[in-house]
Amino acid sequence: MSKGEKMFTFVEDFRASGLTGKAFCQTQGIVTSTLYYWIKKFDESSSLRSDQAAIFHKENHRSKIP
């Protein structure tokens, strides 16, 4: 598993856990600043993917118009 995949897995696991950031980090053996850094990167990546999908959809729709 790459570092990026590990980061995204941690963020998804944290969000699904229902724990506070501090409690989750204690169970995973990481510091809270690392978790919040990963969340920021995850959200930026998700936003970028969403923006790219919207552009692709718009371009794809435009190409179908006669």
Helix (H), strand (E), coil (C) string for the chain: CCHHHHHHHHHHHHHHHCCCHHHHHHHHCCCHHHHHHHHHHHHHHHHHHHHHHHHHHHHHHHHHCC
CB-based contacts of 36, cutoff 8 Å, min separation 6: 21
Task: Quote the pLDDT of residue 27.
Answer: 95
Instruction: Specify the pTM.
Output: 0.63
Q: Which of 12, 7, 13 lies closest to 34 in space, CA to CA?
A: 7
What string of pLDDT tens digits covers the 66 residues of the chain?
Answer: 787 788 888 899 999 999 999 999 999 999 999 999 999 888 887 765 554 445 555 555 555 555
For residues 58 and 48, is the Cβ–Cβ distance under 8 A?
no
Task: Quote the pLDDT of residue 22.
Answer: 94
Task: Quote the pLDDT of residue 47.
Answer: 61
